[in-house]
Amino acid sequence: MIDAISIALIIVGALFFLAGSAGVLRFPDVYTRLHALTKADNLGLGFVVLGLSLRADSWVVVLKMLIIWALVIVAGATAGHLVAEAARTSHVVPWRRRS
Amino acid sequence: MPTRELASRIDRIVQLLQRVVIFAVLWWVIAEADPDGWLFGVPFVALAVVASLGLTPSRTWRIDPPGALKYAWYFVTQSFLGGIDVALRAIRPSLPLDPMIVRYRMRLAPEHARVLFADTVSLLPGTLSTGFEDDSLTLHVLDCELPIEQSLRDVEERVAGVFGLTLSSEGGDLRVCETLTGDECE
């Protein structure tokens, strides 16, 4: 039973990684792609960490994965901000939908 | 030795020890308590402490535990919604994007609170922070239909709660910008 829940969570996580990658390929400019990378991948990693935690041998391993998740969230959000700021200060024009 | 100098020296030692302990515990968990891990751990803990003292020499904030818990719950639910929102936009054939640039006047003053605010905003549905200018944060928004002004104000209140801060009565409003770097905002 626990194995089934764990596998389901990991698959959901993988689907978010897939959707994030689809966003990086399909979205039109650097800014929109950063949205896909930072948000979808963090959530995907969260589901993978939850799924793996159910199968972990000890609490230290669970704690380790939670810390890695937290560090990835902080690093991802900060890196996204810096890439967007670099693009903005070098005058990369954001894509707009024609109306 | 004058007492003020002594106090500042004690403060610096406390800051140093706090950071050594924090980074050592982080390493200890990541190395899964393996004693061989310290061969790499000791130099990297030392580098992390040096970098951290270089970047933020003295910690001037305090964390309010109930506020931090409220923030954590809000963050988990909102970043969940943020991930689902962008994932659906990425896989829907119609690619529902209608981006705009906005400038939000922050009611938070301290730098550490602004950094937490900017990082949080980037993980919520449809908003990405792209840099500070004076008291404003410039944001890229995925879809101009999203009710972002209210959510930005909510995030700001929760970030203020983490550090036990009161928000300024000025600001908390949003302007839509024509360009990213210019001042042509409505």
Q: Where are the domains of chain A?
A: 2-89
Categorize the per-residue pLDDT at B2 as very low, low, confident or very high, splitting at 50, 70 and 90. Answer: confident
Structure tokens, A25:
């390929």
Q: Report DSSP state, residue B105.
A: E
Categorize the per-residue pLDDT at B1 as very low, low, confident or very high, splitting at 50, 70 and 90. Answer: low
Which residues in chain A belong to E strands, given as ranges? none
Mean pLDDT of the B82-103 span:
95
Kindly identify which residue of chain A lies nearest to residue B93, measuring between CA atoms: A26
State the Cα–Cα distance between residues A27 and A8, nearest whole angstrom.
Answer: 28
For the stretch B112-170, pLDDT in tens is 999 999 999 999 999 999 999 889 999 999 999 999 999 999 999 999 999 999 999 88
Low-confidence ranges of chain A (pLDDT < 50): none
Structure tokens, A26:
């399909």
Which ipTM score applies to this complex? 0.91
Contact A38, A26 (CB under 8 A): no
Half-sphere exposure of A19 (CA within 13 A, CB side): 29
Q: Is 60 exceeded by the pLDDT of residue B182?
A: no
Mean pLDDT of chain A: 94
- Which residues of A have a CB under 8 Å from any CB of B? 15-16, 19-20, 22-23, 26-28, 31-32, 34-36, 38-40, 42-44, 60-61, 63-64, 67-68, 73-74, 77-78, 80-81, 84-85, 87-89, 91-97
For the stretch B45-91, pLDDT in tens is 999 999 999 988 777 788 999 999 999 999 999 999 999 999 999 99
Query: Mutate which of B26, B28, B55, B86 to disrupt the A interface (most A C-beta within 10 Å)?
Result: B86
Neighbours of B142 (CB within 10 A): 26
Range A19-28 contact pairs with CB under 8 angstroms and sequence separation of 24 or more: A19/B86, A19/B87, A19/B88, A19/B90, A19/B91, A20/A44, A20/B86, A20/B87, A20/B90, A22/B90, A22/B91, A23/B86, A23/B87, A23/B89, A23/B90, A26/B90, A26/B95, A27/B90, A27/B95, A27/B97, A28/A95, A28/B97
Q: Is 60 exceeded by the pLDDT of residue B184?
A: no
CATH class assigned to B65-177: alpha beta
Q: What is the pLDDT of residue B39?
A: 92
Backbone angles phi, psi at B185, to 5 degrees: -110, 145
Q: What is the pLDDT of residue A99?
A: 61
Kindly identify which residue of chain B lies nearest to residue A29, measuring between CA atoms: B99
State the Cα–Cα distance between residues B103 and B117, nearest whole angstrom.
Answer: 14
Q: With CB atoms and an 8 Å threshold, state whether B181 touches A27.
A: no
Categorize the per-residue pLDDT at B106 as very low, low, confident or very high, splitting at 50, 70 and 90. Answer: very high
First to last CA, chain A: 51
Q: What is the pLDDT of residue B183?
A: 53
Q: With CB atoms and an 8 Å threshold, state whether A96 touches B91.
A: no
User: Which of B97, B122, B131 faces A97 most closely, judged by CB atoms?
Assistant: B97
Query: SS3 of B29, please?
Result: helix
Could you tell me the pTM of the whole model? 0.89
Q: With CB atoms and an 8 Å threshold, state whether A38 touches B122.
A: yes
Q: Is 90 exceeded by the pLDDT of residue B181?
A: no
For the stretch B3-44, pLDDT in tens is 888 888 888 888 899 999 999 999 999 888 788 889 999 999
Kindly identify which residue of chain A lies nearest to residue B26, measuring between CA atoms: A67
Q: Is B133 exposed, middle or buried (0-12, 13-18, 19+ CB in 10 A)?
A: exposed
